[in-house]
A = this chain, B = another copy of it.
């Protein structure tokens, strides 16, 4: 087997790693951190941390309504962040970029506002078997309330969406097709553009869960022609507490408000109100100002490095990792081959529960995740309660994959398998 050193990547890893303070950490004396859990949340570069720090130390104020210098600086910084996000996803207008807490809230916003107002009893929503709970439960809640039918596109043995099942289910004329751009368990990158076009042909609105795609490769909402896109700041080098819903203008404009309160109104009397224009209609109360600014800095950071280079780096990493893991006896990797997936690998080892794998890996500084990764239905499909998941981002190295593999061998020793 090749070792990490001979692999090539378009990224300057040494420089990038320097940008992430946490990567210098020793998790135990003498044991440095190998962070392979970016699918759960990414680490943050100094630039992002400092953007928020600076905001709090210099310009902190509530936005939109203040006339003093701090309020004006804060408002400008917040709205500038919105424009950065707009450009990052190639949205036609920054008014179509709505700040939420996370992907989950963004999807719930669509369910509560668009779903509640546009769907009626008996309507069909099409989901898939590989969805994260965040793209399942909001629809279950809505279905329960207004009596919707749900169908799920099947996942094949090797973790792909079954395209012929998809086409069959489109014949049932779903009103909405909500699906993930990239699986957070098996890493599959779904052919979103093609599937959205087919959904549109069948008369469905298409919502894309971009929690795992937007951080890892270039997502262009206009090229995809997607109706709604949801993603989270914390998975793309940004802070916690901020996410985004993008929507087509015609749809967003028709939608009733979701949360009521300050800033989302034009006028309030005793007993009535008039909603504000986009995007404010959907941003009730004091927003996550520092967090939006942090996300703006994250977008700058990622753009500075280049999303194509990041995607390419992850691709060579995952290919190397899959090769190295294939050496290990009694280890089973789920999902498709490297060319169809992003930097996520879920696996099981016979005789050792994923929790135990993760715990022993942690002793060697290797941080992976174990569990159902908020995708129970997919695990049920594969008939396993939990997998161990290693995931990669721009700061990960080939050497780190070697350390993962080494640590897995130690697990085998300890459990005698």
Contacts and interface: CB of A to CB of B under 8 A. Distances in A.
Interface of A: 21-22, 25, 27-28, 33, 35, 37, 40-41, 43-44, 48-49, 52-53, 56-62, 65-71, 101-105, 107-108, 111-112, 129, 132-134, 136-141, 150, 152, 232, 234, 239-243, 256-257, 259-265, 267-273, 284-291, 355, 358-359, 361-362, 366-371, 373-374, 376-377, 380
Nearest to A35: B70
A174 to B, nearest CB: 15
Contact of A259 (B21, B138, B265): B138
Given A68-B369, A150-B271, A232-B285, 6 more contacts: A53-B53, A68-B358, A104-B261, A134-B284, A137-B268, A268-B377
14 contacts: A27-B69, A49-B57, A61-B367, A108-B284, A133-B262, A134-B285, A137-B261, A137-B265, A140-B273, A150-B270, A240-B287, A241-B241, A262-B374, A269-B376
A58 B140 contact: no
A42 to B, nearest CB: 9
B44 A65 contact: no
A152 B270 contact: yes
B40 A61 contact: yes
A69 B362 contact: yes
Contacts of A68: 27, 37, 358, 361-362, 366-369
Given A69-B28, A242-B241, A288-B240, A269 B380 contact: yes
Contacts of A366: 68
Contacts of A112: 112
Nearest to A240: B289
A58 B264 CA distance: 36
